Chains A and B, each alone.
Chain A
Amino acid sequence: MIHVSLGIALVLIVIAMGLASYRLFKGPDQADRILALDTMSINAIALLVALGIWFETSINFEAALLIAVLGFITTVALSKYLIRGDIVE
């Protein structure tokens, strides 16, 4: 039962990543692209955790934590760049 629901969930998350990458390529503004990148990092965390349940391994959590940290720092740096025109003041 867990594997059936995991299969459905993996398909849904992959569709969500496709929608986010559509906004990443199309987005009329740079802020839309930053938002799409942030959403894609969150979706990648969900995908990694679901794959960790699927393969019954707990080695994916470090990768998920790294993606969470790097996604947050990327979002902050890009937003600061858009606001100020400079990252480190």
Chain B
Amino acid sequence: MLFELIVSFLILFGAAFVLLGSLGLAKLPGFFMRLHGPTKASTLGVGSILLASAVYFTSRGGLSVHEILILIFLFLTAPISALLMARAGLHRQMGGENPSHEETGKD
């Protein structure tokens, strides 16, 4: 019963954060605002869902550590990919080869 409560809470929390990150990706104006929405919220959301899966399969018998592996990998790679995407966006903005950055404000 306690396991079910913990797993349900973690699943709902994670799904809400995943939706929040994608909502920020779809709705925020400007590339750098859009960058910081999903990179933080989605990582927390996926982390909660993976923790819920680990708790669930551990409570069903047998220790389950696959999820922790995915979790460590995601937490290691999310800042690197965010940094590279920010550099790519900055490079496109500094290059001045696309005028679309001026009109993203009214998006």
Contacts and interface: CB of A to CB of B under 8 A. Distances in A.
Interface of A: 1-2, 4-6, 8-10, 12-13, 15-17, 19-20, 22-23, 28-32, 34-36, 38-39, 42-43, 45-46, 49-50, 52-53, 56, 58, 61-62, 64-65, 68-69, 72, 75-76, 78-80, 82-83
Contacts of B70: 45, 49, 61, 64-65, 68
Given A34-B85, A50-B49, A65 B69 contact: yes
Interface of B: 4-5, 7-9, 11-12, 14-16, 18-19, 21-23, 25-26, 31, 34-35, 38, 42-43, 45-46, 49-50, 52-53, 56-57, 60, 64, 66-67, 69-70, 73-74, 77, 80-81, 84-85, 87-89, 91-92, 98, 100-101, 103-104, 107
Nearest to B15: A9
A53 B46 CA distance: 14
- Ranked nearest first, the 9 interchain pairs of A and B with the lowest CB-CB distance are A9-B15, A16-B22, A79-B84, A61-B66, A5-B8, A19-B26, A31-B89, A82-B88, A28-B100
